[in-house]
Chains A and B, each alone.
Chain A
Amino acid sequence: MYVAVKGGETAIANSWRLLAESRRGDPAVPELTLAQIAGQMPLAVARVMGEGSLYDPELAALAIKQAAGDLVEAIFLLRAYRTTLPRLAATQPIDTSRMQLQRRISAAFKDLPGGQVLGPTYDYTQRLLDFSLAADGVRPEAAVAAEPVSASMPRVTDLLGHEGLMQPESPAAGDPDPVDLTREPLDFPAGRDSRLQNLARGDEGFLLALGYSSQRGYSNSHPFAGEIRQGDVEVELVPEELGFAINIGDITVTECQMVNKFIGSEDTPPQFTRGYGLVFGGSERKAMAMALVDRSLRARELGEPVKSPSQDEEFVLYHSDNVEASGFVQHLKLPHYVDFQSELELIRKLRAEHARKDKAA
């Protein structure tokens, strides 16, 4: 008679089996391999690695497969796994000026040392569905450039910096270790290190909307895409017993440096300021949105009025994480019988009183 009280355990086990079956789909169709996902969906893998805060294309591919392509669920899977990993050491900061470039563009200068390198991008494709991909296509081959990419590819912000036009940014006195939000709770006012780590892990859609709002009058940060570069950087570690840096591997990253006008204040001459975005892989949209929001969040530090959502650090940093947001939004599916019962009782009581008042009037 009263099914709601018993049988949860069996129902859950059955739900797991049904999920596994529906994830696999038609067994007549070959199963996806992790190599296929990692190799042919690199942008999905990049997003999962970035917001999952773990650089591992194979595990990200596994998470995507297990999540049936739900990237936020895949990010959650990767994060939950990441929590269990031991911390062996901290690497040296990566040096993006020494990046092996696949792509480098500047919207601020027509030409610059090293030139504009388009690399693999959807930017100049016509968004027409390519029906040839529906059939088994031949492998397209890219032409090899007549000359290799220039070895010297200075960052645009460094070029501006030489002239003193770009606000310099250097580590705080004593170069303290950055905050690690995966080990310590967020604290306010949040330092730039906390903010950037939070944004790097933040949901692409949320940052995209916030960055967009900052371009539409909800704060105006006058951005130029000073430079976007994508490529491989070395990850280096200084083992205590060696005392010098060794390369432990390369990772692919995309860096966006937004250049923003700043009219100056009493203490500071007019100059350009920076909004910074860095993500794993080729998540360029995320890198740009991150840079816009980073710059918006610098309002307080630069003495600008804080009046828009993208400038409000509590609003942005508390709501950027899609693992937190997805969990809490979806927790509404959990039973709330008891709270609802309490509300029912109150609403009935208030309605009865309301009806009595109406009658009396």
Chain B
Amino acid sequence: MNSPDHAAQVVGVHADDSAPAGAAGTTSVQRKGMAVTAQGYNFAYLDEQTKRMIRRAILKAVAIPGYQVPFGSREMPLPYGWGTGGIQVTAAIIGPDDILKVIDQGSDDTTNAVNIRRFFAATTGVATTERTTDASIIQTRHRIPETPLAEGQVLVYQVPIPEPLRWLEPSETETRRMHALEEYGLMHVKLYEDIAHYGHIATTYDYPVRVNGRYLMRPSPIPKFDNPKMDMNPALQLFGAGREKRIYAVPPYTQVESLDFEDHPFEIQTWDECCEFCGSKDSFLDEIVTDDAGGRMFVCSDSDYCGQRRAGQAHGGDAAAAQQSQQSPNVPGVPGVSDTPAAQPAETASS
């Protein structure tokens, strides 16, 4: 993101065929923060022409918030359905000075997050971090970090099914027509039927939102707990669906409204328990089965948030922890850090 036109071409057998002559040199990358990248592959794996194509799709997506832009999704060396859309978006925007954080289910250490972080560490050599506040790009699956994001940060979502109307209408031709005509009654009927049958809206994740008062959008399978964080968020939110070949976006400070009814307002999940480790009462909690006799404990799904809070408590509750706990995750739009994230040193640089 910092220098989209960098010429980070490594010496290799598959030199980019389409980059301009100036960029496609055989510069061996030895910049600050750059380790040796995977042999034979371009910086961030994709060739520069493909990155340009993806950036054009991203620009269009930002210009029409919530609109799904078709793009020429490429086969990636990780499987479809495992984050190829998010990976392509990240590959298109990442530059040598970026600091990357990758989470899955809120955690940096789940297998898929580890794998994607390793992929970018190997193909770009950029610094990686687990700290939300230090990252300039955060690629995520199924969560929005509890720590509020700041201006200048980019949140890249991995999206399995981009079409919010898909379960109601399987045909892409039809759903595109419905978006064009702003014909979203079917979704309201579905939510109404939930209330009629169960007394509640029975959608707990991937809860549909209306972006900028226009497009109905699928927030990817984040819990509805995270939906309010999307609204008026200072960070740029980009969504990549590789298998379905769609990119969409929520620009900074854009209105994102979860669908509801006047007499059934949108609600987020709450827990009677608090986090076993950090005691947080307002973060999303994962339930851990501790034995086969009904034993359960609850811990923060966001491992960085939990870790920062515990570190703060160990130091007698210093300013960092106090700041973290004051910021309710349900209050979106509160910038958590004022520094330019990319300017900060990486917490952990994996190699």
Contact = CB atoms under 8 A, between A and B. Distances in A.
B205 A342 contact: yes
Interface stretch (A63-71, A151-159, A326-334): A326-334
A85 to B, nearest CB: 7
A314 interface: yes
Given A83-B74, A314-B171, A341 B18 contact: no
Given A323-B80, A330-B81, A80 B75 contact: yes
A341 B287 contact: yes
Contact of A341 (B170, B173, B223): B223
A164 B209 CA distance: 57
A324 B161 CA distance: 12
B106 A346 contact: no
Contact of B287 (A6, A88, A334, A344): A344
Contacts of B73: 185
Contacts of A79: 75
Contact of B285 (A76, A183, A327, A341): A341
A84 B41 contact: yes
B303 A335 contact: no
B143 interface: yes
Interface string A83-115: 111111000000000000000000000000000
Contacts of A189: 173
Contacts of B286: 337-338, 341
B17 interface: yes
Contacts of A329: 81
A11 interface: yes
A335 B17 contact: no
B186 interface: no
A186 B245 contact: yes
A330 B79 CA distance: 9
B157 interface: no
Given A8-B114, A338-B286, A328 B81 contact: yes
Interface in A303-361: 314, 318, 323-324, 326-331, 334-339, 341-346, 349-350, 353
A329 B303 CA distance: 27
A349 to B, nearest CB: 7
Q: Which among A6, A76, A335 has the greatest number of chain B C-beta atoms within 10 A?
A: A335
Q: Say what secondary structure dominates the interface of chain B.
A: loop
Report the interface size class on chain A. Answer: 35 or more
B224 interface: yes
A287 to B, nearest CB: 23
Contact of A331 (B18, B82, B170, B222): B82
Contacts of A187: 70
Q: Which among A186, A314, A346 has the greatest number of chain B C-beta atoms within 10 A?
A: A346
Contacts of A327: 79-82, 84, 243
A185 to B, nearest CB: 4
A339 B113 contact: no
A146 interface: no
A2 interface: yes
Nearest to B350: A9
Interface stretch (B28-36, B147-155, B194-202, B317-325): B194-202
A338 B287 contact: no
B242 to A, nearest CB: 9
Contacts of B160: 328, 331
A331 B81 CA distance: 5
B245 A185 contact: yes
A184 interface: yes
Contact of A80 (B77, B202, B224, B246): B77
A284 B196 CA distance: 54
Given A79-B75, A86-B15, A328-B80, 5 more contacts: A5-B299, A5-B303, A7-B109, A185-B73, A341-B287
Q: Enumerate the 8 nearest inter-chain pairs by beta-carbon distance, A residue then B residue, closest first.
A: A86-B17, A327-B80, A331-B81, A327-B79, A342-B204, A328-B81, A185-B245, A327-B81
Interface of B: 14-18, 41-42, 45, 47, 70-77, 79-82, 84, 104-107, 109-115, 118, 141-143, 160, 170-173, 198-200, 202, 204-206, 221-225, 243, 245-246, 269, 284-288, 299, 301, 303
10 contacts: A5-B107, A79-B75, A185-B70, A318-B172, A327-B82, A330-B79, A341-B284, A341-B285, A341-B286, A342-B225
